[in-house]
């Protein structure tokens, strides 16, 4: 199990505190990635549904919290680089209501470590050839 806090700023912590009093996190636990952002939303992503993992830059004007964008739900607490998990099929997430997403964005503080942990976990759970 590896837990990665989401990158925050002083302003975003103040804004998110009423609905997400704990630090938002992404945890790789067994065969899934669990993203938690208090009452704002959550996602449980089975590693078998992750087709690819990459990055993109989240713009400041995109906002913070659980954001819905064209087929994607992003869990972000500040602007900057985020991990993007492309899924093999739509996944129901809470954003804060139930929503279908084909991509999940995660603004992890340690982006490289988060992506490496996903790659390692996917390798450990890969089906035999």
Number of domains the chain contains: 1
Number of residues that this document lists for the chain: 129
Q: Check if the beta carbon of residue 7 is closer than 8 Å to that of residue 107.
A: yes
Considering only CA atoms, which of 2, 1, 6 is closest in space to residue 104?
6
Look at residue 86 and tell me if it is in a domain. Answer: yes
pLDDT at residue 106 is higher than 90: yes
Q: What is the pTM of this model?
A: 0.88
Look at residue 26 and tell me if it is in a domain. Answer: yes
Tell me: the pLDDT tens digits for 44-96? Answer: 999 999 999 999 999 989 888 899 988 899 999 899 999 999 999 999 999 98
Look at residue 63 and tell me if it is in a domain. Answer: yes
Look at residue 129 and tell me if it is in a domain. Answer: no
Considering only CA atoms, which of 49, 22, 26, 52 is closest in space to residue 38?
22
Look at residue 115 and tell me if it is in a domain. Answer: yes
40 is in which domain, residue-wise?
2-124
């Amino acid at each position: 199990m590896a837990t990665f806090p989401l990158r925050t700023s002083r302003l975003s912590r103040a804004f998110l505190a009423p609905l997400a009093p704990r630090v938002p996190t992404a945890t790789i636990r067994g065969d899934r990635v669990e993203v938690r952002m208090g009452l704002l939303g959550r996602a449980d992503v089975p590693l078998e549904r992750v087709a690819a993992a990459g990055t993109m830059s989240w713009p400041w004007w995109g906002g913070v919290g659980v954001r819905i964008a064209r087929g994607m739900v992003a869990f972000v607490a500040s602007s900057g680089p985020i991990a993007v998990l492309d899924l093999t099929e739509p996944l129901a997430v809470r954003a804060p209501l139930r929503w279908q997403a084909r991509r999940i964005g995660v603004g992890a503080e340690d982006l490289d470590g988060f992506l490496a942990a996903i790659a390692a976990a996917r390798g450990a759970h890969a089906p035999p050839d």
